[in-house]
Structure 1
Amino acid sequence: MPRFLADLTPLRVSPAYRRLWIGNALSAVGTQLTLVAVSLEVFHLTGSSLAVGMLGLFALVPLVVAGLYGGAVADHMDRRKLALGSSSVLWLTTALIAAQAWIGVENVWVLYVLVAVHSGASGVNQPTRGAIIPALVGTKLLPAANALNMMTFSVAMMVGPLFGGLLVAHVGYAWTYSVDVVTFLAALYAVWRLPSLPPGATSNTGGTESLDGRRAGWSSVVEGFRFLATRPNLRMTFLVDIVAMATAFPRALLPAVGSVVLGGGETAVGILLAAMALGAFFTGLFSGPLTRIVRHGAAVYWAIVAWGLVVAGFGVVVFLAARAGAEGADPLVFLWPAAACLALAGCADSVSGVFRNTILQSAAPDHLRGRLQGVFVVVVAGGPRVGEMLTGGAAELLTEPVTLMVGGLLCVLGVSALMRWQPGFLKYDSRHPVP
């Protein structure tokens, strides 16, 4: 049985990684509470899935700009200082989101602006943290560390949405946001305790100058893209995720599915969101076998195929629930089949994420790792935002069930087409990483 459980070696051998992992685990729950509460508040104010999907637009643009530039800066200065500064902005923005709820602003545009600022800070913070991990645990332990990180994120995705729905329903938005304000302090402490982490070598640089005296700028971003253009396997880790998220990411539809189609209110929405995270959690908990897989490219492909098929299956369940409601039956009986589909989707997405991130971190040189992590964050966080916009808009025309079914099938077709275009990705072997 221990062979199937998560490998805890990174936590044992690296105190700095252990503190960061614990801090992220505590703060991630609060962050998910806020994300769920914001989507519910926007839906409450507007009654529109399109308006919820618009959160994706206001988060995407600053995420792309800050993620790309922030990754370049992470290759040119002390990564601890950059992570600490961006984490402080994230905490302040969360406090402002809580403040608007306590004051009772009830303005969707205020929420859009605050989400945009939060997303921009996250675009700097996430690639910086991603570039830090190899320095803390080493290349050999990257799959285990990424599986542990995925487990942490999945726990947050499971607990956060579940309690987010319950807290919004019982104590309101202000208290829900305030939990995030408190728990994020754990992440700030963990970053503050990190040692100095200049990219690739010891440095006393305090600004945005690199070890060779150059300053971070958009030319550094272009340099990263030029490297990526010549590395097909690294490039594919981004493309396959864009296809999966843009075509079949269901989050923007869940407020309408849980509250209206299933008739379960905010609690049902929380259960659906938590179900996806539950699948990811169990993948991380029993991730031992994943660390022994060497065909990482093939693992990514089949995980995304599974994701698309399960999302399409979720659409079928929602269709049946809608028909049952139209015929006078109780649609809420379909809540648990719907949750089971999303749990399987979370499992597939987790497997894909572990291997895509491992390919990127192990095949990229350290002096470019921040920039490529920036692109990774833009794709991982921006792809779902694009998916929210597309699915939210499509649902206005096609209804939620049809959007889910069509999107899932398009995901399978799209990722299979990419494999036909770049068949070498299926042969990627971690023992001989070829970027």
Structure 2
Amino acid sequence: MNDADPPSTGRAGSLLRAISPDLSPWRSSRDFRLLWLSGCVTSFGSFLTYVAVPLQIKELTDSSFAVGLVGAFELVPLIVFGLWGGALADALDRRRLVLFAEAGLGLLSVLLLVNALLPTPVLWPVYVVAALVAAADGLQRPSLDALTPRVVRHDQLAAAFALNSLYRNVGSVAGPTLAGVVVTFAGVQTAYALDVVTFAASLLLLARIRAVPPPTDAEKPSVKAVLTGIRYAWSRKDLLGTYAIDLCAMLFAFPVAIFPFLAAELHADWALGPMYAASAAGALLVSVTSGWTSRIHRHGRLLLAAALGWGAAIALAGLSGSVWLVLFCLMLAGGADQISGIARSTLWNQSIPDEVRGRMAGVELLSYSVGPQLGQVRAGGMAGLVGVRSSVWIGGVACVVGVLALATALPRLLSYDDRTDPNAAAVRAQHEREAAEREAAAEQEAAGAA
């Protein structure tokens, strides 16, 4: 600090540096920068299609049931191909898998565009494409998630997740709004066309990432390989705890499906949009102040605190009769969910060996995808029995009770410490060996060129 600066300025600067996002993965890894930029581009395109598909189905059928049916078409392909995609990610070049899946997703957007340009668009291709998109996403996501530990240093994994969450949360707040403007004023055809363009740009970025070949002794993709991954997850009670707590939180305290009814009950129909955006805003606030997360070592305890915070915030939202307090509680819940995501992702990437990382990413995909869908069914069904606000606060309380019970039943999760955990130590040593080998190879190549 300059002697001329007042002490308060120095303290403010230190605080700002402590909470600002850790940009070290961006600075040190070219491949992470390419992945991050690709994610930014496709995030916008995905929200265009996310808004356009239900609107197009509504225009074709004028049926809320027909719109909701999209989720049923997506669920089974996501489960099946998510697990299979994890086995492929451990056996093949992850970069190549991501590229092929990205190209497939781009072609599916082309099909949506062609159908929308027909004089009379047809309904069934929209459902078919939705199912195929879920399958392609299930194949791609494990490889995409498992790429990060290969391109980012072990001590930068928490920072990498926070930076990825930053663009996702910005997209969650701004994406639907921008997509709504495009769809409203330019039509679903324009939305699909722009999505195709974003996939083309993303492919150009992903193509520049270095190859990420599997180990020479990698297990071939098979049902047996999938079951090996599931058995590994079961053997690691700390991992099992992360899956179980997230599933519990989403099952009991994910009331998004009844937001329209909650807004009406509070006599604030105008608040429906802000309700959807509030949790994303809270998550974004955590992302832009996430520097402190790089200094956390007990990620199981951080996950427990975040899950309890999520449940408590949802319970308060259900008990409150003020729409402004509801929005504030939803923002708190979104921040807690973001902290939970950082804790889970860091623990996974720090302690899962690379030879099963893809299969574990497939299991993770199911844990954070199936929970919200079941939670919507729980919230809607209970709202019909006990009322909307009661469904919300009872779900929040059940989340708190369930999370505490799981923490008691799975003490290995709470004892996790990345400084002493043997699994984390083994993965750290593996990363150090690979980094040393890459450095030695680069030196030999430089010497040969000289």
- TM-score w.r.t. the length of structure 2 is 0.82
Q: Is 1:312 equivalent to 2:327 in the alignment?
A: no
Partner of 2:178: 163
Contact residue 297 and residue 428 of structure 1 kept, 8 A: yes
1:75 counterpart SS class? helix
What code does the residue aligned with 1:218 have?
A: V
- The amino acid of 1:10's aligned partner reads P
**Structure 1 residue 168: Cα displacement:** 4.2
* Correspondent of 2:404 among 387, 391, 416: 416
Mapped partners of 1:175, 1:59: distance in 2? 24
Distance apart, 1:403 and its partner CA: 2.5
Alpha-carbon distance between aligned partners in 1 of 2:239 and 2:275, rounded to the nearest angstrom: 32
Letter of the 2:159 partner, please give it: A
* Cα deviation, residue 378, structure 1: 1.5
Aligned to 1:331: none
Describe the shift of the 1:405–1:35 C-alpha distance in structure 2 as closer, same or farther (beyond 3 A).
Answer: farther
Corresponding residue of 1:377: 365
Structure 1 counterpart of 2:437? none
The question of whether the paired residues in 1 share the 8 Å contact of 2:260 and 2:269 is answered with no
CA contact (8 A) 1:56 1:386 kept: no
TM-superposed CA distance for 1:108, in Å, is 6.4
- How big is each residue's C-alpha offset from its partner over 1:145-185, in whole Å with a ceiling of 9 and x where there is no partner? 01111112111111112333444444444434443333233
The aligned residue for residue 356 of structure 1 is 344
Native 8 Å contact 1:247 1:387 kept in 2: yes
In structure 2, do the counterparts of structure 1 residues 388 and 184 end up closer, same or farther at CA, with 3 Å as the change threshold?
A: farther
Deviation at 1:46, TM superposition (A): 5.3
Higher mean displacement: 168-177 or 295-304: 168-177
Cα displacement string for residues 91-113 of structure 1 (whole angstroms, at most 9, x for unaligned residues): 22233334444447677655443
Partner of 2:440: none
Aligned length: 407
Secondary structure at the counterpart of residue 140 of structure 1: helix
Deviations 1:371-406 (A, max 9, x none): 001111121222222223333444454444332222
**Residue 389 in structure 1 maps to residue 404 in structure 2:** no
Paired with 2:369 and 2:252, the residues of 1 have a C-alpha distance of: 14
Q: 1:42 to 1:312 in 2, by over 3 A?
A: farther
8 Å CA contact 2:103–2:199 kept in 1: the answer is no
CA, structure 1 residues 340+102, in 2 after alignment: closer, same or farther (shift >3 Å)? farther
| Within-5 A mapping of 1:171-210 | 171-200=186-215
Match of 1:404 in 2: 392
Q: Tell whether the 8 Å contact from 1:71 to 1:370 is kept in structure 2 after alignment.
A: yes
Partner of 1:131: 146
**Aligned residue type for 1:412:** V
2:289 is matched with 286
Among residues 194, 219, 239, which one is paired with 2:244 in the alignment? 239
CA contact (8 A) 1:240 1:418 kept: yes
CA contact (8 A) 1:53 1:391 kept: no
1:12 matched to 2:27? The reply is yes
Q: What is the identity percentage for the equivalent residue pairs of Structure 1 and Structure 2? A: 36
What is the rounded CA distance, in whole Å, between the counterparts of 1:109 and 1:76 in structure 2? Answer: 35
User: 2: distance between equivalents of 1:394 and 1:107?
Assistant: 35
Between the aligned partners of 2:142 and 2:112, the Cα distance in structure 1 is 24
Superposed CA deviations along residues 127-157 of structure 1, whole A, max 9, x for unmatched, are 1011111111121110110111111211111
Unaligned runs of 5+ in 2: 1-15, 424-450
Matched, 1:220 2:225: yes
Contact 1:16 1:194 in 2 (8 A): yes
Query: Residues 307 and 4 of structure 1: is their aligned pair in 2 closer, same or farther, counting only changes over 3 Å?
Result: same
Q: What whole-Å deviation, never above 9, does each CA across 1:192-236 have from its counterpart, x for those lacking one?
A: 111111124xxxxxxxxxx33753111100111111121100111
Q: Distance in 2 between matches of 1:244 and 1:373?
A: 19
* Alignment partner, residue 431 of structure 2: none
> Does residue 432 of the first structure (1) align with residue 420 of the second (2)?
yes
Kindly report the root-mean-square deviation, in angstroms, between the aligned alpha carbons of the 2 structures: 2.7
Which of 109, 126, 149 does residue 164 from structure 2 map onto? 149
Counterpart position of 1:84: 99
For structure 1, which runs of at least 5 residues remain unmatched after alignment?
201-210, 322-333
> Which amino acid is the alignment partner of residue 226 of structure 1?
R
Aligned partner of 2:50 in structure 1 is 35
- Alpha-carbon spacing, 1:104–1:126, altered in 2? closer, same or farther (3 Å): farther
Does the aligned pair in 2 maintain the 1:248–1:387 contact within 8 Å?
yes
Q: Is the 8 A contact 1:242 1:379 kept in 2?
A: yes
Distance 1:84 1:407, change over 3 A: same
Distance in 1 (CA, whole Å) between partners of 2:117 and 2:304 is 45
What secondary structure does 2:154 align onto? coil
> Is residue 116 of structure 1 aligned with residue 167 of structure 2?
no
Residue identity matched to 1:21: W
Q: Return the TM-score normalized by structure 1.
A: 0.85
Whole-angstrom CA distance in 1 between matches of 2:63 and 2:386: 17
Superposed displacement of residue 345, structure 1: 1.6
The reply on whether 1:249 has 2:254 as its aligned counterpart is yes
Determine if the alignment matches structure 1 residue 302 to structure 2 residue 283.
Answer: no
- Name the structure 1 match of 2:327: 339
- Alpha carbons 1:64, 1:123 under 8 Å: kept: yes
Higher relative contact order (CA 8 A, sep 6+): 1
CA distance in 1, matches of 2:73, 2:358: 24
Equivalent of residue 234 in structure 2, options 215, 229, 232: 229
CA contact (8 A) 1:162 1:271 kept: no
- Quote the offset at 1:41 in angstroms: 5.4
